[in-house]
Structure 1
Amino acid sequence: MIVIGIDPHKSTHTATAVDPATNTDLGSIRIDATITGYKTLTAWAKAWPTRKWAIENAEGLGHHLAQWLLVLGELVLDVPTTSTARIRQLSRGSRRKNDRIDAAAAACVAALQGDARPVDPEGPTDILALLDERRTNLSGSRTRLVNQLHALLRQLLAGGAPTSLTAAAATALLRGYRARSEVDRVRVGLCRNLVADIHRLDGQLAENEKQMTRALDEHGTRLREVDGIGPVTAACLIGRTGRVSRFPTAAAYANYNGSAPVQVASADADRHRLSRYGDRQLNSALYTVAMVQIRMPASAGRTYYDKKIAEGKSPRAATRSLKRHLSDHVWRIMLADEKRSYRQHEKESERAA
């Protein structure tokens, strides 16, 4: 099977065909990153009926082309940029770089080194990732608006507004206020504009949560059966994890989300500190679940926490242990969900055939 390596850029893509048996460069083509260019590429690739595509950074600049090829029924692999850089430097003996060398390196990595992974069609996991990113942006915007509203109300009212400020509470405060100067009237007008913006964002956040719930129902995950995991947290865990089978072990996933503790010193195996590495939003989600379970007397997490306290661990160390325990549990659930999804997809494919 011939391997066609792709070096993607924003406006152009370069493809190089490589024979994996001899590592021979069979030809190369550069196309524009357009549908017309994609059609030119597939017509050129028909010279090799048995082929697979190795796209460098298929989750980044090569994402659109990778998904387009998957729709056509092609076998597409994702090659990390670190692997192509390593192969290019070892094979050339220098740091020379051009698109054709990059594309050939991607093909060689996929065919010979095994550093590539199959690219899957987009599905519910990608929907959850998009909704989670949208919620993060909406929450950040709402926080900035609430801070601005607090600052204005502090200038209008003695003592300002309560910390937990909502659109309804701000409206009630403004209803009883009488401006005594032109400057205060401008402040009141700005406050009302901010209240309207916050009210609009609250509606968008509520709709976002409904969309997450529908996507989770379609996904069929069992994460929401875990105490402390609701639609928003489940969407964050699934969306930010992506294809969970890319983590071969629970320890690899714990390292990715930063819940794996780090030894203080190699000579002292019993002392650990909090890891500052990994995806911090995933880490924050796991911490939230851990704190919710600790506050639930009947939860499995509280039982685990009490067990660690009885072993002599400090409350902070016991919380870190629970967070790591939850990471392993979440990894197993998501892995089982993914395997079940693949089995269902295979059955549907067999019925269609």
Structure 2
Amino acid sequence: MTSLRRIVIGVDTHLDTIHVAAITDTGQPLADAEFRTTPTGYYVAITWARSFGEVFIAGVEGTSSYGAGFTQALQDNSIHVVEVNRPNRASRRREGKSDPLDAYSAARAVLAGHGLAIPKDPNTGALKALLIARRGAVKARSAAIQQIKDLLVTAPADLRERYRRYPTTVRLVQALSRCRPTTHTDPITVAVLTACKALAQRIEFLDRQIGELTTELDTVTRTLNPALRAAYGVGPDTAAQLLITAGTNTDRLRSEAAFARLAGVAPIPASSGKITRHRLSRGGDRAANNALHRIALVRWSHDQRTRAYAARQLAAGRSKKDVLRLLKRAIAREMFKHLTAPCPIDDYSDLRPTRQAQNITLTSAAQHLGVWPTVISRLERGLQRHDSLAANYRHWLNTQHIDAA
């Protein structure tokens, strides 16, 4: 019985079409064809490729964008998929640019093993959708607030003075959303108030939308990686971005150094003459770099260990930028562990029942631990992570139980 010929396919992806090229495992070109980006088109493309032999691997451009649908179809048909980079510009200048050429280039890149990556997990798409919607809402909210302030700058004097007295943006938005423009007679005042009221109501709607999307992001990130979400300073937004960058797929990250380079926090030499120093790489995923930057700022502001470390580095003569670079590199190392080897986290659900069973008030517990009662309340409800405080709290509660017995 003759065994099937082993086939490699390369795929050049677009919005409405994909171009598939088939070659043998020795690099011999067989054929290429174009298909529609529909379930039927994907089925026809796979059937066409299998007519030449056994398809054992496929190289697809843009597995998280135009190639996402075909990637899923290939995986559903038990075909191993790798993501290939687009041909570099030097090769395109030498060989030309067309869909068939790009498809064959992708197939040959698979054989050469050059510039390959494992496609991101489908969960990444869900996180990305929620994160895009949330960030869009935040951006629109900021724009609406600025528009209100700009309108009030040029508003009639009495209107400007009336709404200047509100100390916060929240209070100003609440007042404008409930104003009644029709009670005024001046047409300019009516027009400005009508515009401000519409913008204020838009802000309130966006506030509710941001809250709902944040809650959904929190639920998804806690389900996918509770240890990452529980890390100090990591919120739903930053956790989602790090999971998107990693692809919720641990096989994509070869090493901790590779993740640091991917996130743009790998130190590179920046020395000249007598000055010997390093700076962070400006390459990689800038959104992931921004997530690490925000985590570093939160820890520098609120985490005692981070504050002590920063103080030591500043005393040693380092600048704030250098300290921030060191912090981001260290945080990347910690985040890599959470992304590749998720560990179980401490469950705080026993704290409140234990306290209530002993008739201990929040105030008494907070006074003993030297924190505010709201901190204990948030800890008991799982709204705040602080493992060392939770361990001390649990030990104290157990001690009280033994003393009572």
TM-score range, shorter chain: 0.7 to 0.9
Q: Which has the higher contact order (CA 8 A, sep 6+)?
A: 1
Are 1:248 and 2:254 an aligned pair?
A: yes
- Alignment match of 2:50 (pick from 46, 50, 69): 46
Residue of structure 2 in register with 1:72 after alignment: 77
Looking at structure 1, the residues matched to 120 and 265 of structure 2 have their Cα atoms a distance apart, in angstroms, of: 27
Looking at structure 2, the residues matched to 16 and 176 of structure 1 have their Cα atoms a distance apart, in angstroms, of: 65
- What one-letter code is carried by the residue in structure 2 that aligns with 1:108? R
Secondary structure in structure 1 of the residue aligned to 2:193:
helix
Secondary structure in structure 2 of the residue aligned to 1:270:
coil
CA contact (8 A) 1:80 1:116 kept: yes
CA contact (8 A) 1:10 1:61 kept: yes
Structure 2 runs not aligned, ≥5 long = 1-5, 344-405
CA shift for structure 1 position 305: 1.8
CA shift for structure 1 position 244: 5.8
Residue of structure 2 in register with 1:341 after alignment: none
Are 1:172 and 2:175 an aligned pair?
A: yes
Residue of structure 1 in register with 2:396 after alignment: none
Residue of structure 1 in register with 2:383 after alignment: none
CA shift for structure 1 position 202: 0.4
- Alignment match of 1:334 (pick from 328, 331, 339): 339
Structure 1 runs not aligned, ≥5 long = 339-353
CA contact (8 A) 2:264 2:284 kept: yes
Question: Deviation per CA, 1:239-289, whole angstroms, max 9, x where unpaired?
Answer: 244356434333333333333345433545632446544433322322222
Secondary structure in structure 2 of the residue aligned to 1:82:
coil
Change (3 A) 1:261 1:75: closer
Residue of structure 2 in register with 1:14 after alignment: 19
4+ residue stretches of structure 1 with deviation over 6 A? none
Q: TM-score, normalised by structure 1?
A: 0.82
After TM superposition, the structure 1 stretch with the greater mean CA deviation from structure 2, 211-220 or 141-150, is 211-220
Residue of structure 1 in register with 2:131 after alignment: 132
Looking at structure 2, the residues matched to 163 and 113 of structure 1 have their Cα atoms a distance apart, in angstroms, of: 61
Looking at structure 2, the residues matched to 12 and 68 of structure 1 have their Cα atoms a distance apart, in angstroms, of: 15
Looking at structure 2, the residues matched to 315 and 81 of structure 1 have their Cα atoms a distance apart, in angstroms, of: 39
CA shift for structure 1 position 29: 2.3
Secondary structure in structure 2 of the residue aligned to 1:60:
coil
CA contact (8 A) 2:60 2:83 kept: yes
Q: Kindly, what percent of the aligned residue pairs are identical?
A: 26
Secondary structure in structure 2 of the residue aligned to 1:18:
strand
CA shift for structure 1 position 201: 0.4
- Alignment match of 1:292 (pick from 298, 301, 309): 298
Residue of structure 1 in register with 2:106 after alignment: 106
Change (3 A) 1:268 1:249: farther
Residue of structure 2 in register with 1:34 after alignment: 38
Residue of structure 2 in register with 1:265 after alignment: 271
Looking at structure 1, the residues matched to 150 and 276 of structure 2 have their Cα atoms a distance apart, in angstroms, of: 48
CA contact (8 A) 2:246 2:252 kept: no
Looking at structure 2, the residues matched to 280 and 41 of structure 1 have their Cα atoms a distance apart, in angstroms, of: 35
Within 5 Å, give how 1:153-232 maps onto structure 2.
Answer: 153-154=152-153, 155=155, 156-158=159-161, 160=164, 164-166=168-170, 168-172=171-175, 175=179, 179=184, 181-232=186-237
Residue of structure 2 in register with 1:279 after alignment: 285
- What one-letter code is carried by the residue in structure 1 that aligns with 2:102? D
Looking at structure 2, the residues matched to 141 and 74 of structure 1 have their Cα atoms a distance apart, in angstroms, of: 42
- What one-letter code is carried by the residue in structure 1 that aligns with 2:31? G
CA shift for structure 1 position 310: 3.8
CA shift for structure 1 position 316: 3.2
Looking at structure 1, the residues matched to 224 and 303 of structure 2 have their Cα atoms a distance apart, in angstroms, of: 30
After TM superposition, the structure 1 stretch with the greater mean CA deviation from structure 2, 151-160 or 285-294, is 151-160
Residue of structure 1 in register with 2:398 after alignment: none
Are 1:145 and 2:178 an aligned pair?
A: no
Looking at structure 1, the residues matched to 330 and 67 of structure 2 have their Cα atoms a distance apart, in angstroms, of: 36
Question: Deviation per CA, 1:48-92, whole angstroms, max 9, x where unpaired?
Answer: 134322122323322221122222322212111036x66x56xxx
Change (3 A) 1:165 1:272: same
CA contact (8 A) 1:70 1:121 kept: no
Change (3 A) 1:13 1:303: same
Looking at structure 1, the residues matched to 121 and 173 of structure 2 have their Cα atoms a distance apart, in angstroms, of: 46
- What one-letter code is carried by the residue in structure 2 that aligns with 1:15? V
CA contact (8 A) 2:13 2:67 kept: yes
Change (3 A) 1:280 1:10: closer
Change (3 A) 1:203 1:3: same
CA shift for structure 1 position 205: 0.3
Aligned-CA RMSD value = 2.8
After TM superposition, the structure 1 stretch with the greater mean CA deviation from structure 2, 267-276 or 311-320, is 267-276
Looking at structure 2, the residues matched to 2 and 145 of structure 1 have their Cα atoms a distance apart, in angstroms, of: 55
- What one-letter code is carried by the residue in structure 2 that aligns with 1:132? L
